[in-house]
DNA sequence: ATGAAGATGAAT
DNA sequence: TTCATCTTCATC
């Protein structure tokens, strides 16, 4: 079987609420390590919880640029988290990548994480950035060129929808998406 | 200049 | 449930 096509930048040039569920099942690799995206969250700029909600700053500047770029930010002074910028330039909306099913580069990911339990390797936004070696150096890089490799899913998976995690503002919306039943989620979805 | 909060994770 | 750890951004 040939590899599915790489995601082009145009894939991200539409509503963040369309892109987010379609990323479930896609494959994300960084320098050859990574796996299948099993959990994401959508952040539209009109959402009070979005980093871009109160306007452009140094940190969120890439969100205001064209779609198809990485937005990496520091979380709680400790972790890195990665988003994919979506929608037309100026919209400032993005999808947070929350969990992967590890498939490629398991050895290097286990070493970076100091773990052997593959279910704990990429089951959270901070964890997967540590496993894939994502840091601020990846901020503002295009997603359709190395070190990134993004491939479309082969077929539509069974997608679970739920309220977002770790958010107090506007958490009531069903803007978290996941691969139903996957053991690699950061948290299970309620049935 | 200062400080409170934060799209988390790991340990208790 | 607590805490590590520190950048960001609003406010003073």
pLDDT digits (tens, 9 = 90+) for A121-153: 999 999 999 999 999 999 999 999 999 999 999
A186 beta carbon to strand B: under 7 Å? yes
pLDDT, position A2: 82
Q: Please, are residues A98 and A82 in contact by the beta-carbon 8 Å criterion? A: no
pLDDT, position A172: 73
Q: What angle do CA A170, A157, A72 make, to 5 degrees?
A: 50
> pLDDT class for A170, splitting at 50, 70, 90?
low
* pLDDT tens digits along A33-63: 999 999 999 999 999 999 999 999 999 999 9
Average pLDDT over residues A70-79: 97
A79 beta carbon to strand C: under 7 Å? no
Q: Token pair for residue A151?
A: 């491939």
A127 beta carbon to strand B: under 7 Å? yes
Q: Which chain A residues 58-77 have CB under 7 A to strand C? A: 58-60, 74, 76-77
pTM score, two decimals? Answer: 0.97
What torsion, rounded to 10 degrees, do the Cα atoms A60, A65, A66, A71 define? -20
A175 beta carbon to strand B: under 7 Å? no
How many Å apart are A91 CA and B1 C1'? 33
pLDDT, position A190: 84
A1 beta carbon to strand C: under 7 Å? no
Average pLDDT over residues A101-108: 98
């Amino acid at each position: 079987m040939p590899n599915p096509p790489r995601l082009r930048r145009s894939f991200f040039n539409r509503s963040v609420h369309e892109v987010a569920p379609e990323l479930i099942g896609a494959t994300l690799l960084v320098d050859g390590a990574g796996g299948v995206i099993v959990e994401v969250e959508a952040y539209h700029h009109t959402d009070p919880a979005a980093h871009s909600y109160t306007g452009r700053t140094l940190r969120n500047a890439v969100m205001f640029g064209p779609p198809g770029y990485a937005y990496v930010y520091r979380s709680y002074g400790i972790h890195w988290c990665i988003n994919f910028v979506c929608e037309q330039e100026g919209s400032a909306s993005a999808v947070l990548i929350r969990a992967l099913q590890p498939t490629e580069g398991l050895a290097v990911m286990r070493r970076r994480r100091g773990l052997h339990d593959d279910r704990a390797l990429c089951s959270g936004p901070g964890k997967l950035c540590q496993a894939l070696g994502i840091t601020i150096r990846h901020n503002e890089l295009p997603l359709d060129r190395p070190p990134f490799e993004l491939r479309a899913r082969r077929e539509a998976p069974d997608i679970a929808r739920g309220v977002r995690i770790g958010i107090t503002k506007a958490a009531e919306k069903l803007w978290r998406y996941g691969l139903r039943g996957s053991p690699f989620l950061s948290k299970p979805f309620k049935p």
